[in-house]
Structure formats: C-alpha cells, structure tokens
Amino acid sequence: MRNLKILFTQASFISFGIFIICGIAQMIYHFRGAPYIFDWYFIPSVILTSILCSLPSLLFVGENIMHFKLKLILHFVILFGAVSFLGFIFRWYSNIIGYLIVMGMFIFVYVFVWCAMLWIYKMDDKAINSALDSIRDEE
C-alpha cells in the first residue's frame, strides 16, 4: 500500500509540474502574440506519461544493493529516455529546438518532484517524531 501511495503522489506531482510548465509556456506565447494550442490528446498523454514515469521510482523502495547515487543516475536516464520516446510518440516536439525545450521542462519537473517528495518525507518524519515524543512524555 505504501508503494501505491508513493506512485500516486509522484504521478500527481509529475502531472502538476508538467501542467505548470505548459501554462507558463502558454502565457509566454500569448504575450508574444503566437498561438500555443494543445492537441486533443495532450491531457491524457500527460497523465499516461506521469504514471509511466512514476514506476521507476520503485528503484528507491526497499533495501537494494545498489548505491543511492547509482540508483539516482539510473532513474534519471530511464526517465529521460522515456520522456524522449513519449514526446516523440505524442509529438510534443518536431525539431531539435523543440526537443531541447521539452528536455529542459523535463529537468525542471524532475527537480520539482524530487524537492516535493523530500518535503513530504520530512513532514511525515516530523509527524512521526512528534507522535513518538508525545508517547515518551506520557511515560
């Protein structure tokens, strides 16, 4: 159940990050006077991408032999490849400049999700520690 919670939370943060980035890009295009219109399948493609990109996070669950830095590099490479492939399939870019923009957005969302998940883990740790402290104080 904990793994399912992690996957759902990460998929939600990934979708949120993508939609925020696309909203900023759409605002920039609007103020420049250029049209920026999404295809009809954009929202389902973002949700599918979010779900697929949350799955490799299971690398970090449990006690594996791999070192954390190796897991992080492997995680980033898997997601970079997945987003590149899905971006090509869903036509998020049509040339090298578009690809670089999408990959820049990917890096931003990747960092955002890591920061958000670390914040959530710290909040959970504080809640657990305060509950343990309250139990200790009663004894």
pLDDT digits (tens, 9 = 90+) for 49-85: 999 999 888 777 766 667 878 888 888 999 999 999 9
- What local confidence, expressed as pLDDT, does residue 138 receive? 57
Delimit the domains of the chain by residue range: 2-138
Q: How far apart are CA 128 and CA 22, in angstroms?
A: 36
Contact between 112 and 13 under an 8 Å Cβ cutoff? The reply is yes
- What local confidence, expressed as pLDDT, does residue 81 receive? 95
pTM, rounded to two decimals = 0.81
Q: What is the pLDDT along the chain (139 residues), one digit of tens a residue?
A: 778 888 898 899 999 999 999 999 889 989 998 887 888 899 999 999 999 999 888 777 766 667 878 888 888 999 999 999 999 999 999 999 999 999 999 999 999 999 998 998 899 889 888 888 888 755 5
- What local confidence, expressed as pLDDT, does residue 63 receive? 67
Q: Name the token pair of 69.
A: 């830095």
Token match 């578009």: residue? 98
Q: How far apart are CA 135 and CA 93, in angstroms?
A: 55
2 phi-psi bin (left φ>0, alpha ψ -120 to 50, beta other)? alpha
